[in-house]
Structure 1
Amino acid sequence: MGEFTDKIKGAVNNAVGNAKQESDNPQTRAEGERQELKGDVQETKGKIKGAINDL
């Protein structure tokens, strides 16, 4: 279950981060970049958990 949760959280963070990057506010755009990076890490974490579970 952790694998699926991490992948979903990562996808949500990516989507929200992308939306924030469309802002005119530079601070919000920077926050969006960080949130998108966090989403990438969460998705990778989920993929790793899935690979370990498949062993």
Structure 2
Amino acid sequence: MEPDTVAPAEVAEDAEVMASVEEGTTDTLVIADVSTDEAYMTLPLVDAASLPEWR
């Protein structure tokens, strides 16, 4: 069985990534590379890992 891995992506040295929470009927976490158009991802805030979970 092959491992489920993803090839590393190239990262631009001048990339600027930010995160924000949009409040609404469903609070949403938005992570975006503001140095590139259309480079963002969203997910429900309840599905996002908290900092203590990453430790």
Short-chain TM bin: under 0.3
Comparing both structures, which one devotes a greater share of its residues to strand? 2
Q: TM-score, normalised by structure 1?
A: 0.19
Q: TM-score, normalised by structure 2?
A: 0.19
Comparing both structures, which one devotes a greater share of its residues to helix? 1
Task: Give 1 or 2 for the bigger CA radius of gyration.
Answer: 2
